[in-house]
Structure 1
Amino acid sequence: AISIGQIAIERLRGRKIEAMQWASLALVVVLGGISIATNNPVFAMIKPSVAQAAIGIVMLKPDWMARYLPQIVTDNVSRRALIGWGYVWAALMLALAAANVFVAFNFDAKIWAAYTFFVPLPAKVALFFLQYLWIRSAVRRSIRGRAALQTA
């Protein structure tokens, strides 16, 4: 319901609905429906992989990250670098999807639960901070470089 509401609000405001928003809505509707229909614990363990893989595939679109970045970043970091970070995020999501399938099929529910608690979120947080530090450094270098050219 929240995803549908967000898309409705964006449409009313005349904004374009991005691929990530459509993918999120589709995942919620499809996976939620399958969960209710099957009531299968194995599906519950595999469901994060489906979501992560779908998000990873959407993240393969070159400029998916652009709408989330402030102008200071897009003005000071090359498009190529930002697209590269988008691909790094896609690779992480696809790797997490594969790892979850492996753990779900090769270990018991307790190990799977521990994996889902200790791996996906910390991996995303770690990549977020790594990207943040890299982009912050790149922005500072760019601004300092332009300032040095103006004073020279």
Structure 2
Amino acid sequence: MGEKKPVAPALKTALDFGPLLVFFAAFFLLKDHPVTLWGQSYGGFVLATAIFVPVLIAAMVALRVLTGRLAPMQIATLVLVVVFGGLSIWFNDPRFFKMKPTLIYLLFATLLGFGLLRGKPWLQLVMDGAIPMQPAGWAILTKRLVAFFLFLAIANEVIWRNFSDTVWVNFKTFGLPVLLMAFFAAQAPLFSRYAPEDEKDS
């Protein structure tokens, strides 16, 4: 595993969220302007996906070079984006790409749940020490995050199957990140309660 290197927070944020914003912008610019290639018409969603996939790959490569490593969740997300984004482009079918968040969240919930059953602090390893906390706190956070990922998977399925492309793109671009940030903000009492003893005493 490569040694983690410090990187400017603004640059890391841009690389983390920039590709998603590129997808959002491309979709709204192209949604009313289908393009015909090799006798087949491609709508804005598939065209935006075709732009998003290489942009995300480039961002992940940049993160790998700058930080010296990628988190397991970043690698899993990249693989699923390439696979399901590629299927959407190849078959000219947005449904594959819309299913991708469901599979990502189900995968994360399954892996974290399996680690919890084995008594392994996989969440702590994945978060790479970003949150100092006692083992009991990590166990509680893992249980909550498993339930939250299952909720996000169900929410994604409900939205993409019942609403328009525009609604799903807004949900994917803004709804999911806001829900994730709100979830971790709501865990502040947990982080405080299970902070390492030396930090409590300081």
Mark yes or no: TM-score above 0.5: yes
Unaligned runs of 5+ in 2: 1-56
Aligned pairs for 1:63-102 within 5 A:
63-67=121-125, 68-70=127-129, 73-74=132-133, 77=134, 79-102=135-158
What fraction of aligned residue pairs are identical, expressed as a percent?
A: 24
Aligned pairs for 1:2-151 within 5 A:
20=73, 23-60=76-113, 61-62=115-116, 63-67=121-125, 68-70=127-129, 73-74=132-133, 77=134, 79-139=135-195, 142-143=197-198
Aligned 8 A contact 1:19 1:58 in 2: no
How far the C-alpha of 1:135 sits from its partner, in A, is 0.8
Higher relative contact order (Cα pairs below 8 Å, separated by 6+ residues): 1
Aligned residue for 2:27? none
Q: 1:39 to 1:71 in 2, by over 3 A?
A: closer
CA offset digits 1:106-145 (Å, max 9, x no partner): 12223323333442111100112222442134327x3487
Separation of aligned partners in 2, 1:144 and 1:45: 43
Q: 1:122 to 1:145 in 2, by over 3 A?
A: closer
Separation of aligned partners in 2, 1:25 and 1:109: 22
How far the C-alpha of 1:98 sits from its partner, in A, is 1.0
Normalised by the length of structure 1, the TM-score is 0.66
Q: 1:143 to 1:105 in 2, by over 3 A?
A: same
Separation of aligned partners in 1, 2:148 and 2:130: 25
Normalised by the length of structure 2, the TM-score is 0.52
Q: 1:72 to 1:57 in 2, by over 3 A?
A: closer
How far the C-alpha of 1:53 sits from its partner, in A, is 1.9
Separation of aligned partners in 1, 2:138 and 2:96: 35
Aligned 8 A contact 2:136 2:194 in 1: no
